[in-house]
Structure 1
Amino acid sequence: MADEYEKLARQLIGEFSSMHRFMSTRVSNAVSGEMAVMRALMLANGELSPSQIADRAWVSAPRVANILRNLEAKDWVTREPDKADRRRVIVKITEHGLACIEEKRELSNRKTGEFLAELGPDDAHELVRLIHRMNEIIEKNQGTRLREILYSENPKPKDGFSDTPTTNN
């Protein structure tokens, strides 16, 4: 049985690799570029500090700074001093930014709908169901790993790699 799953794993990785060649630029920007920053801002009701954006968008602070410069040039965001702490900066989505994001969202929904229509109703529903199930498993496993780290005296990743040295008592 394990051999069957390993064979399927190789096929799945191959299929993902094949898809990646066609989608890499768009997916990369959506996951780690302007769209990731805008999504983080949208989920926070339109304003965050640059460090909060970096944390929530999973983007490095220097990358966030570059992205914010680009978004400001497009008039999608503004940076203003925090009223409570003048040393901090707050990034806010502009009305123009909101309109552009909504336009991109509508285009994305339309294109994704066209793709799902090509799959047909049964395969489209099955794809969405399987991706949802994958996310459930990933979340469960991430939660398990987080609990292991929080409650272990010697948290060390199962793969043997770690950012910080660990000690064995």
Structure 2
Amino acid sequence: MSARPGRLDAARLSGVISPLRRGLLRAARTAEQLPEIPDAQVEVLRALPVGAVRSPAEIAEELSLSRPTVSNLLRTMEAADLIVREPDPVDRRRVAVRASTRAATLLRRFDEASERLLAAAMSSLPEADRTALAAALPSLERLRDEIQAHARAGRVRLQAGEQR
């Protein structure tokens, strides 16, 4: 059963977003000859922008992951030179985590390649499609924020058909 014209179809949107994201990821990795970094590790790196220092507990809370999961991720990421763990300068009992220079470089290269690929793909679309995409960006940003808020609140398991 398809959605009525003009009505938002969550299944269709989901069916577009996931392959779009995977395709962009694959194309950017290929274009820049980047190593494959698991999504969970990329999420940790995104939680550690250049200059940011966080504790493992703060990372776990921000990403809604368990502390043991984050600990395992950090151990693997440290071995791959993606993060640096050091004693916290204020409280030496705590650990401070930051992205490594290598990780910052890889993320920058990935982001730049993604932007170039998107720009090239969008330039081949008809003007009406580019205008529609530009108009949809604020709504997509709000949708992203809403999904993140639901995840943080633990309300991810919405009832089938539940509407706000």
- TM norm. shorter chain > 0.5: yes
For 1:108-119, list aligned pairs within 5 A: 108-119=114-125
Relative distance call for 1:35 and 1:9 in structure 2 (3 A) is same
Task: Tell me which residue corresponds to 2:58.
Answer: 52
Deviation at residue 34 of structure 1 after TM alignment: 1.7
2:67 matched residue in structure 1: 61
Task: Kindly report the root-mean-square deviation, in angstroms, between the aligned alpha carbons of the 2 structures.
Answer: 3.9
Q: 1:62 to 1:122 in 2, by over 3 A?
A: farther
Which residue is equivalent to 1:14? Answer: 12
Q: What is the identity percentage for the equivalent residue pairs of Structure 1 and Structure 2?
A: 24
- Once residues 4 and 14 of structure 2 are traced to their aligned partners in structure 1, the CA distance between those partners, rounded to angstroms, is 18
Does residue 92 (structure 1) correspond to residue 98 (structure 2)? The answer is yes
Instruction: Normalising by structure 2, report the TM-score.
Output: 0.64
One-letter code of the match for 1:39?
R
- In structure 2, what is the equivalent of residue 42 of structure 1? 49
User: If you compute each CA radius of gyration, which structure gives the higher value, 1 or 2?
Assistant: 1
Q: Which has the higher helix share?
A: 1
Give the Cα–Cα distance (whole angstroms) in 1 for the partners of residues 141 and 20 of structure 2. 23
Distance 1:141 1:36, change over 3 A: closer
Structure 2 residues without counterparts, runs of 5 or longer: 27-35, 160-164
Question: What does 1:20-169 align with in structure 2 at a 5 Å threshold?
Answer: 20-21=18-19, 23=21, 33-42=40-49, 45-136=51-142
1:40–1:121 Cα change, 3 Å: farther
SS at match of 1:111: helix
Task: Call closer, same or farther: CA 1:92–1:140 in 2, change over 3 Å.
Answer: closer
SS at match of 1:75: coil
Q: Give, in whole Å, the separation in 2 of the partners of 1:59 and 1:118.
A: 40
So what's the TM-score if we normalise by structure 1?
A: 0.62
